[in-house]
Structure 1
Amino acid sequence: MKNSADAVAALKGTDGNPIGDPKKILQEAFSNTTGVQGASTACIVSHNDGVLRAANVGDSGFMVFRDGKMMYKSQTQQRRFNCPYQLGNHSSCDRPDSAIQMEVTVMVDDLVVLGTDGLLDNMHVEEIEKIIAMTMVAKAEREGKTVEEKLAREIAEAAYYKSLDKYGDCPFVRASLLEGKHHKGGKVDDITVVVGRIIQNYDLHIKINSDQKSTPE
């Protein structure tokens, strides 16, 4: 994540502003990640002039909510069930060229929710919509938080508790049934949630807060 942030700062257009090209950011961050073991999915999203642009590798992703309802959900990449594309330095791992690129038009006050598979495999869209509906601005302000911060925390916590539910229904259960498998209950996994709100449609400003929940593999 730090290398991605560094890439955003380093990559400038001819006007001196950040280029906001998610795939170039991903490529730059990957090239600066050396001597690291393991592999990782990646989802990078930028906003410019009313358009979200994204580069996604693996089964992390993002959703856009307007007036509390989901109006866009990104594609994910898997070679087979529960086997996502992953970036890494090993010869068997994927490279940034594998990334899916997406564009979606957004409006002021749209919410952008990014998450790892620990979120997407455990939470149904309607459950996230319910949390958005219940998270009022006044309530967040009383607790000394931004709405985005409160949403990120509440969505991450809900995903965490669902991951521990041995008998609950979740997207991963339904996906396993389609593959002829019989997984029961939530999927224990690392959970990262980032929530941004579109506050301007003419530059790269997205107000972002995030929350993470870690669980053992």
Structure 2
Amino acid sequence: MVAAAAAILEVEIGSSYIPKDNPSKPLGEDAHFVISDKKTAGVADGVGGWALKGIDAGEYARDLMRNCVASVVGAEGVVDPKRVLTEAHSRTTAVGSSTACLISFDGWYLRAANLGDSGFMIFREGKLVYRSPMQRRGFNCPYQMGKGEQFDEPIAAWSGKIPMAAGDIIVVGTDGLWDNVFGREIVEVLAAEVAETAAELAKMMAELAWYNSLDLVKDGPFAVEARKAGRSHRGGKIDDITVVVAKVTGSSSSPG
């Protein structure tokens, strides 16, 4: 008797973006993309320090994500996030720099690449089971890609391939999410089972991050890290907030 072929997990991806209130930069400094038929998504966060030079780093982030889309659309077979990031970086001409995190699903596996302090968490059966490594040279000083020798190359990005299971939820975000929301708060959102779709979940998490960012008393993750670094900061951290949620569905049997 021939064994039945193992099912390929399906993925639903949704996103939400809340730019911080800045009339001079209505688009904010974050950018992202979702390509559902390629089961691929990415986020980028333009480094705000460029504003001191009169440069909108959001232009770099948007240019980078546009070039990621072009690379993904043109890819044949399995999408390799690190290769996509490398190709997009080589084509990006805007002035500025950015962090970035890309994910793509290959059958039963999540492939990912992350450079800087954007990143993702994986939740399984209501628990946080994995968080991607953040790359920083110090407090509030992430790795960042841009044009010039002073910036990091995509080769420096962390990359990995992680086995998935039916029911897994992957939350990808820029630091506007991670600086304002603890993993346990996301667990609470998931446990409430209020949102049904990936897009609804992404919206709820982005709104939670935005709400927390305005809190002047309750310390968020950024404030906790600031104290560890000997800095003074209370409450949340106002920033652009990008959230991408991927819900894995399908058979929970082991890959054959």
State the TM-score bracket (shorter-chain normalisation). 0.7 to 0.9
Supply the distance in 2 between the matched residues of 1:53 and 1:120 (Cα, whole angstroms): 20
Q: Please, what TM-score do these two structures have when normalized by structure 2?
A: 0.70
Task: From 156, 171, 183, give the equivalent of 2:233.
Answer: 183
Supply the distance in 2 between the matched residues of 1:200 and 1:51 (Cα, whole angstroms): 13
Supply the distance in 1 between the matched residues of 2:232 and 2:132 (Cα, whole angstroms): 26
Supply the distance in 2 between the matched residues of 1:7 and 1:30 (Cα, whole angstroms): 10
* Number of positions where the alignment pairs a residue of Structure 1 with one of Structure 2: 187
Which residue identity is paired with 2:122?
V
> 1:60-102: per-residue Cα shift (whole Å, max 9, x none)?
0001111221111110100111000111113322111110112
SS at 2:211 equivalent = helix
SS at 1:41 equivalent = strand
Supply the distance in 1 between the matched residues of 2:163 and 2:227 (Cα, whole angstroms): 34
Task: From 189, 196, 213, give the equivalent of 1:163.
Answer: 213
Supply the distance in 1 between the matched residues of 2:85 and 2:224 (Cα, whole angstroms): 31
- Which residue pairs with 2:180 in the alignment? 122
Over 6 Å off, 4+ runs: none
SS at 2:92 equivalent = coil
Matched, 1:5 2:69: yes
TM alignment of 1:92-103, pairs within 5 A: 92-103=150-161
Contact 1:135 1:150 in 2 (8 A): no
Which residue identity is paired with 1:79?
R
Supply the distance in 1 between the matched residues of 2:214 and 2:188 (Cα, whole angstroms): 20
TM alignment of 1:48-197, pairs within 5 A: 48-136=106-194, 140=195, 147-197=197-247
Supply the distance in 2 between the matched residues of 1:55 and 1:30 (Cα, whole angstroms): 13
TM alignment of 1:35-50, pairs within 5 A: 36-50=94-108
State the structure with bigger RCO (CA 8 A, min sep 6), 1 or 2.
Answer: 2
Which residue identity is paired with 2:166?
V
Kindly state the Cα deviation for residue 197 of structure 1 after the two structures are TM-superposed.
1.1
Kindly state the Cα deviation for residue 2 of structure 1 after the two structures are TM-superposed.
2.0
Supply the distance in 1 between the matched residues of 2:155 and 2:250 (Cα, whole angstroms): 30
Which 5+ residue runs of structure 1 have no aligned equivalent?
141-145, 202-217
Kindly state the Cα deviation for residue 200 of structure 1 after the two structures are TM-superposed.
5.2
> 1:100-126: per-residue Cα shift (whole Å, max 9, x none)?
112221101211100000100110111
Which 5+ residue runs of structure 2 have no aligned equivalent?
1-64, 252-256
Supply the distance in 2 between the matched residues of 1:159 and 1:135 (Cα, whole angstroms): 18
Which residue identity is paired with 2:67?
N
- Which residue pairs with 1:209 in the alignment? none
Which residue identity is paired with 1:6?
A
Kindly state the Cα deviation for residue 29 of structure 1 after the two structures are TM-superposed.
1.1
